[in-house]
Amino acid sequence: MKKLTSLIVVLFFLITSLKAAEVQFERGYYYVLIKGANFDRVNEVLKTEIENHKWGIIHTMNVDKTVKSQTPHKTHLLCRADYLTEGLKFDKEIISVLIPCRISIYQDKNNIKIVVEDVEAAASTFGVDDKKFKTFLKQVTEEMKSILQKTADHFEKRQNMPSR
């Protein structure tokens, strides 16, 4: 019985360690935590995924340099022209405050954390009632979550997985 319990514990550990990071939600933002990865490599993959999702990086704030920190920390300001055009049709004031979308990436001990604001929830503070506008904002949020997940998927451990 002890051997079976030990085997189950080992199998559980192996299975969970092979699984890619998943998007989590906390206090109004979504995030992924990528364990034991190199910051510069994750940041390059993140920027590629942003482009793959047809978003443009309009500016990168080097938070680490601004606060004179040795810990890597950047915030990318994003825009997607077709989404901006669509959003302006709904409400110029609200969209003007919500743009650009922001994705922050920073070193968190031995891990890399990537964080994005929940645009849907942020818009709720403005009292958005229009269902089409809410649907549009949900689409933007889902796009941001997809960027996070696709970035994390690049760092999934596959050494013991069958080849595809």
Residue with tokens 């070193």: 107
Q: Name all domains of the chain by residue range, CATH numbers in brackets.
A: 21-153 (3.30.310.70)
The Cα–Cα gap between 139 and 123 comes to 13
The Cα–Cα gap between 11 and 8 comes to 5
pLDDT, tens digit, 9 for 90 and up, residues 114-141:
999 998 888 888 888 889 999 999 999 9
Between 28-37, 108-117, 126-135, 151-160, the lowest mean confidence (pLDDT) is in 151-160
pTM of the model: 0.82
Q: Which residues of 66-99 are buried (b: 16+ CB within 10 A; e: fewer)?
A: eeeeeebbbbbebebeebeebbeebbeebbeebb
pLDDT, tens digit, 9 for 90 and up, residues 39-64:
999 999 999 999 999 999 999 999 99
